[in-house]
Amino acid sequence: MSAPETSQSGALQEQVSLPDLALVFLKLGTIAFGGPAVHMAMMQDEFVRKRRWIRQADFLGRLAAANLIPGPSSTEVAIFIGQSKRGWLGLIVAGCCFILPAAFLVALIAAAYVRFGTMPQVSGILYGIKPAVIGIVLQAVWSLTRTAAKTKFLVALGILALVLSLFGAAPLLVLILAGMASAIGWSPKNWTTTAVSSFLPFSGSFGAGVAAFTSAAAFAPVTLWRLFLSFLKIGSVVFGSGYVLLAFLQTEFIAHLHWLSEKQLIDAVAVGQFTPGPVFTTATFIGYLVAGVRGAAVATLGIFIPGFLFVALSGPLLPRLRRWLLAAAIVEGVVVGSLGLMAAVAWQLGRAAIIDWPTLAILVVSLILLLHYRINSAWLVAGAAFAGWLLSWSGR
């Protein structure tokens, strides 16, 4: 039997079976703690170095592609890899197997939360976790700002996004305006008056349509269909870090639908931090809180379906988009706009999480451990939970 052929780059050109593809992504979905950056490192080690299923250049290309489209970037890289090995079937198998372990675990935690969340011991654990989660979000804002805000113009754009968000602007509208401003400020020489004037009415009407949809949804009764549509919308427009999801969740489920409290949202985010797999499984937790097991399933489907569709449809277009400087400028604006949203939601949720000196101390220690010692966020959340339990047990 002949050995598998090897390309010039060293990647094995062998057929990958669907069971093998499913098993490796089930494994990654079960052990991938630590957020998107850790997920990417694990996939690179698994598929480029160990299994040699994909070349390093191809992996980086798929990583860049995932950053150009909305949705959970690490999950989309998994979907891209599955598509590259087995086409449409591989796309579905890889994505689902990476998502399902985390979604199942989050649903179990949500069930326990609903049943035991009011017990003093559990409340103490959550008391400690919440400020640590705020620290994680602030650390993500700081780290991403250092790489994304490359010019004074982009810094100003991020600050403007922060101000607009604090004054109640819809997150999607903030991102649209940030992308437009970055495109217009990129290089006036490359814009014609006709192009700008034709783009502005379109984006304005799009933003107005989103605002109308959101306001129409205010105070809506809880239904599975409405829950699905809310997460489908969010999954279609969340751009940048997974933490940008917080701004959309806060606007949709607290400010407009009034289905959640700020405490429940922070708890949902905390669960997303100490479970493996995509941060977007926060939707699973919220779905369970709102409508039980069926709500968890519907919310998970709604938020992840757009990622599968974007990967499937964007393959032929992404090489051209990466070479189009205007598209790169728009992406830069959307990314710094996302950072503004993250900073705003960290402030808003921080007011509910930082309520006394112990929670402030946990936040400060969390930031030191994250920024100076670069501790894994899963270990940080575990330590904060233990500190909260100790404070609760001591009667604080």
Please say if the pLDDT value at position 197 is more than 60: no
Q: How crowded is residue 211: how many other Cβ atoms within 10 Å of its Cβ?
A: 14
What phi and psi, each to the nearest 5 degrees, are found at residue 6? Answer: -120, 130
β-pair partners for 12: 6
Spatial CA neighbour of 196 closest among 208, 217, 209, 180: 180
Q: How crowded is residue 140: how many other Cβ atoms within 10 Å of its Cβ?
A: 23
Q: What is the pLDDT of residues 330-389, one digit of tens each?
A: 878 887 887 888 788 788 878 878 989 999 999 999 999 988 888 877 688 889 889 988
CA dist 177 and 258 (Å) reads 26
- The residue extents of the domains of the chain are 18-393
What phi and psi, each to the nearest 5 degrees, are found at residue 12? Answer: -75, 130
**Burial, 117: exposed, middle or buried (Cβ in 10 Å; 0-12, 13-18, 19+)?**
middle
Residue 212 is predicted with a pLDDT of: 45
Please say if the pLDDT value at position 111 is more than 90: yes
CB burial of 167-178 (b: ≥16 within 10 Å; e: otherwise) equals eebbbbbbbbbb
163: Cα separation from own chain's centroid: 22
Contacts of 140 (CB under 8 A, 6+ apart): 241, 243, 342
CA angle, residues 162, 169, 231, in degrees to nearest 5: 100
Report helix, strand or coil for 354.
Answer: coil
- Mean pLDDT across the chain: 80
**C-alpha distances in Å from residue 300, one per residue of 60, 100, 234:** 27, 9, 11
β-pair partners for 6: 12
Long-range contacts of 362-367 (CB under 8 A, 24+ apart): 362/128, 362/131, 362/132, 362/135, 362/387, 362/388, 363/131, 363/132, 363/134, 363/135, 366/131, 366/132, 366/134, 366/135, 366/136, 367/135, 367/138, 367/139
CA dist 66 and 142 (Å) reads 21
Q: Which residue has the higher pLDDT, 315 or 30?
A: 30
Q: Which residue has the higher pLDDT, 380 or 157?
A: 157
Q: Which two tokens stand for residue 217?
A: 């949804």
Residue 121 is predicted with a pLDDT of: 65
Least confident window among 63-67, 177-181, 205-209 = 205-209
Q: Which residue has the higher pLDDT, 194 or 389?
A: 389
Q: Which two tokens stand for residue 255?
A: 């400010």
Q: What is the pLDDT of residues 159-173, one digit of tens each?
A: 999 999 888 887 778
Residue 11 is predicted with a pLDDT of: 43
Kindly report the pTM of this predicted structure.
0.71
Q: Which amino acid is at 281?
A: T
Residue 316 is predicted with a pLDDT of: 64
